[in-house]
Amino acid sequence: MYNFWAIFGIWMAAFLTLAIFSFLYKDNPFYKLAEHLYVGTSAGYMLIYTYFLTIKPMLIDPITKQQQFFLFIPAFFGIIMLTRWFPKIAWLSRWSIAFTIGIGTGLAITGSIQGILIPQIKGTLIALHGWNWTTLNNLLIIIGVISTLTYFYFSKAHKGVIGKTAKIGITYIMIAFGASFGYTVMGRISLLIGRMYFLFHDWIPLIH
Amino acid sequence: MNIFERIEKIDRRIIFLLVAIAVLLPLIFKVRMEIPISEPVKKAFVSVDTLSSGTYILISVDYDPASMPELQPMYKTLLMQCFEKGLKPVMIVQWPLGLPLSIKAMSEMAVEYNRIASKEGKDTVVYGVDYCNIGYRPGGVAQIVGIGKEIRDYFESDYKGTPLDSLPMMKDIHNYDNFALLFCLEAGSMGEMYVQYANARFGIKIIFGMTAVSAPDAYPYLQSGQIIGLLGGLQGAAEYETLMKKPGFATMGMTAQSWVHVLIVLFILLGNIGYFIGRKKRRS
């Protein structure tokens, strides 16, 4: 049994879905209304989340309830980020940015080498023995990696062997783009199916 | 003006309408198609299915409503599999807007499982004992690395604010070592972060359930063995439902998906034929 607010929610969601879909016909005030509502509610939602799941439990509560006063240091760095709004003292924000970039770079370098570069090189060092489908697949992977890397090698003109290898590389890249585009179409259609299912199952129960 | 020239100049709104019809008809008339199972999905399913009862599995819910049609069916089916196998799923959320979705599906599946279990005389599942949701915390990469040492450094409580030590199932759970698997449901790049840090540094086995848009980027990880299974988009969800023998939204949606794909291929063919005929005519 649905209550009033559940029904109201379904009608509201249906109206907003149709308002967004109406853009497919042409731009109109209903679309604009839905778009602005989306941006506004998302921003409001994020604000509440940030306060109740970050600032309160990780800063205010530890300081007020557990007297963890060292947290004033990260709080200070967080606050001076906001000085970017005031040109005269905007330089202060660079301290926080430097801190963030330092951590980000450190994590990214270790992550990229340990988590991508080495395992991916290992994944390319694959056996080529016997005449079977696995060997053919492995061969395709090896050719793909070498030729694609050659395509991105710009220190020598793409002529002769390098030029031909680079052409194979670009073919691999195009196939990868095609696969990505195919998957993207599937993803977008899935979203449409989801909305259609909502409209004709939850709102107008035609789909059972 | 011949038919191909007309097709070349067709109003795009007619195409939108035809796509909408192609989606709607199979849904309304319940047209079903066979769902063939791909190797990456089978591997994912078997990896979860062969875990022994009582094993902990970490599920990272990293998507928002925009990716719900693709990832929510995967999540629901996975939860049902966990409950049926007696596994202990722990949900973690890296996208703030994913928290309501993770809670909603978790509650729905627990109710659904308990209804079936009660009928069949099996044990029901209880929040905090058999499953829990530790919610969202900011931190991203730093948090992923931090969980490798102690989960409580970032998650002192669950999504309701209940301290982790008050949840019976979480008392002895501290880091990735306590989980047999990490199942990442991804609409963005958090999955890659898990591979780079949780798998590379702490060795936890990872399975990806991804939106179709992100799925192609995950295949190199599958080939290199950094992930042990992959569910890509609605198709992946439908395959998982088929393996679970519980056809749901994804299975139903795949027929509509296939109809639209045929329609799109048809449009591409007609558009190109129209273009080339038009070009030939203009040249002559």
CATH code at position B105: 3.40.50
**List of residues 6+ apart from B269 with CB closer than 8 A:** none
Q: What pLDDT, on the 0 to 100 scale, is given for residue B144?
A: 95
Residue A136 lies in a domain: yes
Residue B4 lies in a domain: no
Tens of pLDDT, residue by residue over A4-44, are 899 999 999 999 999 999 999 999 999 999 999 999 998 99
Alpha carbon separation from B25 to A17, A196, A207, B254, B271 (Å, rounded) = 19, 11, 10, 12, 24
Minimal Cβ distance to B27: which of A103, A186, A200? A200
Containing structural domain, residue A177: 132-208
What DSSP string describes B101-168? HHHHHHHHHHHHHHHHHHHHTPPPP-BTTTBEEEEE-S-THHHHHHHTT-GGGT-SB-TTS-BGGGSG
Tokens representing A20 are 């967004």
Residue A168 lies in a domain: yes
Residue A178 lies in a domain: yes
Q: What pLDDT, on the 0 to 100 scale, is given for residue A2?
A: 63
Residue A196 lies in a domain: yes
CA distance B117 to B124: 6
| Domains of chain B: total | 1
ipTM for the predicted complex? 0.88
Which of B61, B59, B70 is closest to B100 using CA atoms? B61
**List of residues 6+ apart from B92 with CB closer than 8 A:** B58, B59, B60, B61, B133, B134, B135, B155
Residue B149: count of CB within 10 angstroms of its CB: 13
Residue B29 lies in a domain: no
Mutate to test the interface with A, among B206, B226, B259, B267 (most CBs of A within 10 A): B226
Residue B189 lies in a domain: yes
Residue A159 lies in a domain: yes
Taking a contact as any Cβ pair under 8 Å apart, which residues of chain B between 77 and 136 contact chain A?
96-97, 135-136
Residue A151 lies in a domain: yes
Residue B134 lies in a domain: yes
Instruction: Determine the Cα angle at B89 with ends B88 and B95, to 5°.
Output: 165
Containing structural domain, residue B131: 38-257
Q: What pLDDT, on the 0 to 100 scale, is given for residue B1?
A: 67
Taking a contact as any Cβ pair under 8 Å apart, which residues of chain A between 145 and 204 contact chain B?
176, 179-180, 183-187, 189-197, 200
Which of B184, B13, B263 is closest to A189 using CA atoms? B263
Which of A143, A144, A126, A148 is closest to A135 using CA atoms? A126
| Domains of chain A: total | 1
Tens of pLDDT, residue by residue over B10-68, are 888 999 999 999 999 999 998 988 999 999 999 999 999 999 999 999 999 999 988 99
Taking a contact as any Cβ pair under 8 Å apart, which residues of chain B between 11 and 40 contact chain A?
13, 16, 19-20, 23-24, 27-28, 30
B153 touches chain A (CB under 8 A): no
Tokens representing B118 are 């009660």
Residue B70 lies in a domain: yes
Residue A44 lies in a domain: no
Instruction: Determine the Cα angle at B61 with ends B90 and B199, to 5°.
Output: 75
Residue A134: count of CB within 10 angstroms of its CB: 12
Q: Is the pLDDT of residue A95 over 80?
A: yes
CA distance B70 to B23: 15
